[in-house]
């Protein structure tokens, strides 16, 4: 993650209070989120790497290597140490399905898990259901190196925005929030009939 991306994440975290990150690895982006939000961060990861990406690191160093690094890097931030970070060690889609049953929506969802096209599609679909109205859906690695991310975002988030990208070092994408006016247009207040 490059400096411009870190600045963007920090700025967004500073104005969102219920953040979930899907794909944390050793906690580089998680650190930015927890340090800048006035609220809480939930990190969701298997800590196993993705097929063909980082799974070799786990195979070499052991099942809990990545999580141990994460815990070391974020020790002070865990809720049991008085911080604002909680973790879910689970598959992304399983976690999303569980959260739908008992978690209030999140106002910022940052997707940075498996970068293969089918996985990104599934993540966007599953986690979009947990996005609060006017919440921020965003993700990492919208770059030709990760063409699956680009393809999935283009197909499922047709109005996507990306950071200015002059050297493939600013690769965050996001879905623009609907404005309050648009939300009102879609959902008339209770009791108000259409055309009123």
Ligand X SMILES: C[S@@+](CC[C@H](N)C(=O)[O-])C[C@H]1O[C@@H](n2cnc3c(N)ncnc32)[C@H](O)[C@@H]1O
Question: Are residues 172 and 150 in contact, defined by beta-carbon separation less than 8 angstroms?
Answer: no
Q: Which is nearer to ligand X, 101 or 181 (CB)?
A: 101
Rank residues 84 and 92 by Cβ distance to ligand X and give the closer one. Answer: 92
Residues that bind ligand X in the complex, under the rule CB under 6 A = 1, 23-25, 28-29, 44-50, 54, 66, 91-92, 112-114
- For residue 5, the minimal CB distance to ligand X (Å) is 8
> Quick one: 145 or 184, whose CB is closer to ligand X?
145
Indicate the residue among 97 and 192 with the shorter CB distance to ligand X.
Answer: 97
- Give the shortest CB-7-to-ligand X separation in angstroms: 14
Shortest Å, Cβ 157 to ligand X: 19
CB of 124 to ligand X, least distance (A): 13
Closest CA to 163 of 153, 173, 154: 173
Mind giving me the DSSP string for 42-56? EEEE-SS-BTTBBHH
- Whether residue 183 contacts residue 134, with contact meaning beta carbons closer than 8 Å, is answered with yes
Nearest to 67, CA basis, from 59, 80, 58, 78: 58
Cβ at position 8, least distance to ligand X in Å: 12
Report the residue closest to ligand X, judged by CB.
23
Long-range contact pairs involving 61-70 (C-beta distance under 8 Å, separation at least 24): 66/25, 66/26, 69/26, 69/27, 70/24, 70/25, 70/26, 70/27, 70/30, 70/43, 70/45
Beta carbon nearer to ligand X, 23 or 135: 23
């Amino acid at each position: 993650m490059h400096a411009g991306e870190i600045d963007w994440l920090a700025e967004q975290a500073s104005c969102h209070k219920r953040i979930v990150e899907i794909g944390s690895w050793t906690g580089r982006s998680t650190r930015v989120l927890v340090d800048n939000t006035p609220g809480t961060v939930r990190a969701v990861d298997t800590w196993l790497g993705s097929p063909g990406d980082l799974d070799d690191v786990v195979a070499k160093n052991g099942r809990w290597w990545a999580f141990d690094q994460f815990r070391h890097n974020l020790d002070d931030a865990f809720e049991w140490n008085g911080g604002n970070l909680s973790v879910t060690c689970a598959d992304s889609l399983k976690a999303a399905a569980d959260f739908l049953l008992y978690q209030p929506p999140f106002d910022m969802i940052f997707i940075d898990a498996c970068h293969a096209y089918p996985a990104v599609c599934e993540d966007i679909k599953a986690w979009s259901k947990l996005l609060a109205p006017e919440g921020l859906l965003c993700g990492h690695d919208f770059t030709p190196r990760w063409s699956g991310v680009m393809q999935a975002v283009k197909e499922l988030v047709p109005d996507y925005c990306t950071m200015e990208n002059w050297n493939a070092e600013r690769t965050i994408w996001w879905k623009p929030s609907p404005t309050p006016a648009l939300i009102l247009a879609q959902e008339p207040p209770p009791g108000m009939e259409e055309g009123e």
